């Protein structure tokens, strides 16, 4: 039988969506209000909203992240977990489903990974270090490829998200198409799967404003090694500085203006 939400759930959802519409702020402020409110309703502790390359034949890759509920160190560990090469077989079934159906989908961890590949993979230890147990994703296809991707998370030891919570999240997140990313800012952004997992982790940390020294300390590698990775990243995007890279990933290369 199809799940019907309780009246209290519906009231909470309508109130949240009304608050988001009424907020006199920009897109980022409205996203934050929406996600913080959703997390309260479904008892999640952290969230991310990003653009992602999510193709069955490519490793999952993410840019343009907005997020809430994390401290700096834990978010950095989360980026390592997300960019781990063992995540490719874990996300493959859901990326196949998304490609076939071509519509906004919301899935709990048990739905997207019924064989519990994540728990058996080399990536599992990275998720544990980030203190992430249960997760749920909501993905909306973008124009020209890729997705506007959302993840909500609970800490280790917390129960998995339920069918009710997935239904609440899907209804809320599918009712705000104007808040979703609509396309990658430019071609190099869409082609980040050409970068290796370590490059993508460093790219994400650079976009968080981290210095090369800080990244090297966190990853336990030398600054010289980081310099090499950063050089590759800059070459890929055709930029010469960190500020230019961040601007490129938020505004594109100007070819659409």
pLDDT tens, position by position, 13-40: 999 999 999 999 899 999 999 999 999 9
Q: How far apart are CA 93 and CA 127, in angstroms?
A: 19
How remote is the C-alpha of 26 from its chain's centroid?
Answer: 20
Q: 187-251 has which fold?
A: Arc Repressor Mutant, subunit A (1.10.10)
How remote is the C-alpha of 220 from its chain's centroid?
Answer: 24
Using alpha carbons, select from 162, 168, 65, 71 the residue that is nearest to residue 109: 162
Q: How far apart are CA 171 and CA 147, in angstroms?
A: 18
Q: How far apart are CA 13 and CA 91, in angstroms?
A: 28
- 216 versus 197: the higher-pLDDT residue is 216
Domain boundaries, the chain: 7-179, 187-251
Q: For the chain, report the end-to-end CA distance as a whole number of angstroms.
A: 50
- The answer to whether the beta carbons of residues 94 and 107 sit under 8 Å apart is yes
Structural tokens at position 247: 């601007």
80-131 tens-digit pLDDT: 999 999 999 999 999 999 999 999 999 999 999 999 999 999 999 999 999 9
225-247 tens-digit pLDDT: 999 999 999 999 889 999 999 88
Q: Which of 27-41, 48-62, 138-152 has the lowest mean pLDDT?
A: 48-62
DSSP category for residue 156: T
Look at residue 257 in the predicted model and tell me its pLDDT.
31
Look at residue 58 in the predicted model and tell me its pLDDT.
78
Q: What are phi and psi of 255, to 5 degrees?
A: -70, -10
User: pTM for the complete prediction?
Assistant: 0.86
Look at residue 37 in the predicted model and tell me its pLDDT.
98
- The answer to whether the beta carbons of residues 34 and 179 sit under 8 Å apart is yes
Same fold yes or no, 7-179 and 187-251: no
Look at residue 157 in the predicted model and tell me its pLDDT.
96
Look at residue 144 in the predicted model and tell me its pLDDT.
82
Q: Which CATH architecture has domain 7-179?
A: 2-Layer Sandwich (3.30)
Q: How many CA atoms lie within 13 A of 156 on its CB side?
A: 10
- 57 versus 224: the higher-pLDDT residue is 224
Using alpha carbons, select from 130, 131, 147 the residue that is nearest to residue 139: 147
Residue 256 has pLDDT above 50, yes or no: no
**Pairing verdict, β 46-53 and 61-68:** antiparallel
Residue by residue, DSSP assigns 24-87 as -S-HHHHHHHHHHHHHHHHT--EEEEEEEE--TTS--EEEEEEEES--HHHHHHHHHHHT-TTH
169-210 tens-digit pLDDT: 999 999 999 999 988 877 776 677 778 889 999 999 999 999
Q: How far apart are CA 221 and CA 187, in angstroms?
A: 30
């Amino acid at each position: 039988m199809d799940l019907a939400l309780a009246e209290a759930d519906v009231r909470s959802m309508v109130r949240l969506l009304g608050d988001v519409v009424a907020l006199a702020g920009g897109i980022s402020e409205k996203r934050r209000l929406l996600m913080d409110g959703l997390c309260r309703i479904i008892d999640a502790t952290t969230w991310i909203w990003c653009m992602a390359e999510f193709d069955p034949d490519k490793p999952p890759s993410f840019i343009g992240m907005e997020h809430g509920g994390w401290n700096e160190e834990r978010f950095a560990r989360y980026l390592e977990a997300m960019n781990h090469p063992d995540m490719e077989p874990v996300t493959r079934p859901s990326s196949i489903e998304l490609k076939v159906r071509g519509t906004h989908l919301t899935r709990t961890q048990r739905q997207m990974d019924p064989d519990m590949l994540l728990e058996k993979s080399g990536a599992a230890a990275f998720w544990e270090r980030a203190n992430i147990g249960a997760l749920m994703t909501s993905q909306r296809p973008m124009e020209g490829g890729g997705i506007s991707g959302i993840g909500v998370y609970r800490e280790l030891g917390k129960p998995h998200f339920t069918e009710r919570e997935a239904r609440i999240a899907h209804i809320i997140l599918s009712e705000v198409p104007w808040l979703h990313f609509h396309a990658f800012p430019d071609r190099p952004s869409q082609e980040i799967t050409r970068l290796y997992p370590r490059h993508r982790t460093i790219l994400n940390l650079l976009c968080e404003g981290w210095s090369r020294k800080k990244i090297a300390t966190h990853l336990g590698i030398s600054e010289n090694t980081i310099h090499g990775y950063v050089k590759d990243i800059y070459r890929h995007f055709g930029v010469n500085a960190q500020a230019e890279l961040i601007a490129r990933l938020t505004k594109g290369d100007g070819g659409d203006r």
